[in-house]
Amino acid sequence: MGHQTNINKRGSSGFTLIEIMIAMAIFAILSVLAYGGLNSVINSRERTLVSMARLQELQVTMSHLQRDMQQIINRPGRDELGSTLADLRASQGEDLIIQFTRNGLRNPAGIVRGHLQRVAYKLDEDKLLRLSWPYVDRASADQVVENTLIENIKTLDLRFLDQQNNWHGNWPALSADPNSPVALPKAIEVKLQMEDWGDIIRVFRVSR
């Protein structure tokens, strides 16, 4: 009889309601912690991807600026109305922040044209645009190719280092003689003010 009583006690043993509720509470807490950790990892990955994409945009922009400015040459052009375009012009407050003639235009398709190109940069609200024309002496405004390089830009400021190692905010410099030819600057400083990363400054040597 005593042996039968022990069997009944072991058979009826199990989890009480309180134990089940405690287990469920612990499971819920662990689930919340696990979800929070996973969500943090996902958000961190998304921020990393956004930063990498932004960095790539900046690198492409600086690559365009470097290639363009290192290829600036002394070659005036003409606009649609036949007016003379300076080989290099940059002035505060103008629609085109900088415009110039550059050499080294690639021609992988073998199109019959020269290797010179007219290039300009401008800000359209918060977008930095690169404008290019296939010819230095352009006949139509429809020939312009406009590319957005990077967005969320506040300002693009330029400085020019002349042959006497003096910096100027405009080119030709305001002190330059308008009746005398102006040599190209030795270097151009580019200051890009970004909404998220602040000021990015680069100095590009101008080949002569």
pLDDT band for 22, please (50, 70, 90 cuts). Answer: confident
How far is 197 from 53, CA to CA, in rounded Å? Answer: 13
Q: What structural domains and CATH numbers belong to the chain?
A: 1-208 (3.10.610.10)
pLDDT tens per residue, range 93-118: 889 999 999 997 665 555 545 688 89
**In sequence order, what DSSP letters do the residues of 121-174 get, joined into one string?**
EEEETTEEEEEEESSSB-S-GGG-EEEEEE-SEEEEEEEEE-TTS-EESSBS-T
Mean pLDDT of 125-150: 86
How far does the chain reach from its first CA to its final CA, in angstroms? 112
The predicted structure's pLDDT at residue 168? 96
Q: Which residue has the tokens 């979800």?
A: 35
- Which residue has better confidence, 165 or 182? 165
The strand pairing partners of 194, in sequence order, are: 153, 198
pLDDT tens per residue, range 64-86: 999 999 999 999 988 888 888 89
Compute the mean pLDDT over every residue in the chain, rounded to the nearest whole number: 84
pLDDT tens per residue, range 171-192: 999 888 877 888 999 999 999 9
